Amino acid sequence: MAYHYARFGAKIVITARRTKILEKVIEKCLSLGAQEALYVSADMSNETDPENVVDFALEKLGGLDYLVLNHVGKHGFAMWNGDMDQIRWLMKPNFFSYVQMAWRALPSLEQSKGSMIVVSSMAGKMSNPFAAPYTATKCALNGFFGSLNHELAMKKSNVSISICTLGLIDTESALNAVRGIITTTAYPAIEAALNIIITGATRQQELYYPWFTYVMNLTKDWFPSLTNHIIRNALNYNP
């Protein structure tokens, strides 16, 4: 997404934990045409880092037109073993940090008539095995930002919220997590990223990518038994 924004000539602030990776991304963003590209190293599971990132962006850029929330904490892809600490921890990067950053950025987005883009997952629309803690965090995201979207509309706010529902994307971290378990085709990150950006720029409320995620979202209510059969048979599991 940073590379796409750079090609459009945007001013960008990105964040992640690893400084060396951030430096490489910033260098490429500048070569692709970004007006300005900055980074701040942060850990989204830390209680103060999410707000500090937004404050950094506001200070350096003078305001925000878009806030793209697209980060996830590390989690295993396995049957839940009763580990409550894992669920409590995962809620920090996957949910609480999104809320913190959104609230911090909201006044600036109001001034710019900006957009908030929340990258979620099919797991936020329908439950999946081997991902109970992750699914819980994505359901929380969809619920919270769906409610916030209503509230902003009722207040006649200038800010739009776009919730992006993604299937399996071919990022390195996603493929490593599901290797040998999921038989579903992974879709290209570069295409998913562009669709996310277009959704935010055109102020659409929802994105489903790839296309079949929308169909699955409908069939889960129309044909629940069939949907459950498809989900379970997309996984390699022998009890």
What string of DSSP letters covers 136-150?
HHHHHHHHHHHHHHH
Catalytic, out of 5, 39, 134, 209: 134
Q: How many residues does the chain have?
A: 239
d(CA 166, CA 212): 10
Specify the DSSP class assigned to residue 125.
Answer: T
Specify the DSSP class assigned to residue 166.
Answer: E
**Can 134 be counted among the known catalytic residues?**
yes
d(CA 117, CA 200): 6
Specify the DSSP class assigned to residue 54.
Answer: H
Neighbour count for residue 99 (Cβ, 10 Å): 16
Specify the DSSP class assigned to residue 124.
Answer: G
User: Do 35 and 59 touch, CB atoms closer than 8 A?
Assistant: no
**Alpha helical stretches, state H, the chain:** 2-7, 19-32, 49-61, 84-91, 97-112, 132-154, 172-178, 189-201, 212-222, 224-233
d(CA 84, CA 22): 32
Q: What are the tokens at 95?
A: 């949910």
Residues with a known catalytic role: 134
